[in-house]
Amino acid sequence: MKSVAVIGASRSRHKFGNKAVRAFEHQGYRVIPIHPTASEVEGHRAYRSVLDVPGEIDIATVYVPANVGLTVMEDLAKKCVPEVWLNPGADDDEVVERARGLGLKIIQACSIISIGESPSRY
């Protein structure tokens, strides 16, 4: 089972960071919410950072603003996450540049749609 870290996971069901948690779970992924203060999101244990997650992470999908995303890119590089999705709103030019400079494989698109789901369903 592939694991996905949802960076910017939200407890608010109308936010994309929450919709992603539910969509990836529906598709059978092991979902790892990343949230600075929550202990769980949609029944999944949440972590403050990808660096706190034990073991490997297959995919990261990012739903945070640029000022947070810059630091997140550093953490993803340290964790050696092989695939990083920068969703609309998280794909600021400076974040993209930082990610590329760190050697991260980035995809700029909606990860929910990429797995065959519709954000409006959630």
Could you read off the pLDDT of 49-106 as tens digits, one per residue?
Answer: 999 999 999 999 999 999 999 999 999 999 999 999 999 999 999 999 999 999 999 9
Question: Which residues in 103-114 are b (16+ Cβ under 10 Å) and which e?
Answer: ebebeeebbbee
Q: How far does CA 114 lie from the centroid of its chain?
A: 13
With bands split at pLDDT 50, 70 and 90, how would you rate the model's confidence at 28?
Answer: very high
Cα separation, 70 vs 54, whole angstroms: 22
**How far apart, in Å, are the Cα atoms of 3 and each of 28, 52, 100, 121?**
9, 15, 22, 22
Q: Identify the pLDDT of residue 37.
A: 95
Average of per-residue pLDDT across 1-17: 97
With CA atoms as reference, report the closest residue to 84 among 106, 67, 101, 63: 106
- Ordered by where they begin, the domains of the chain are 3-121 (3.40.50.720)
Q: In the chain, pLDDT over 70 holds for what percent of residues?
A: 100
Enter the tokens of residue 65.
């603003």
pTM: 0.95
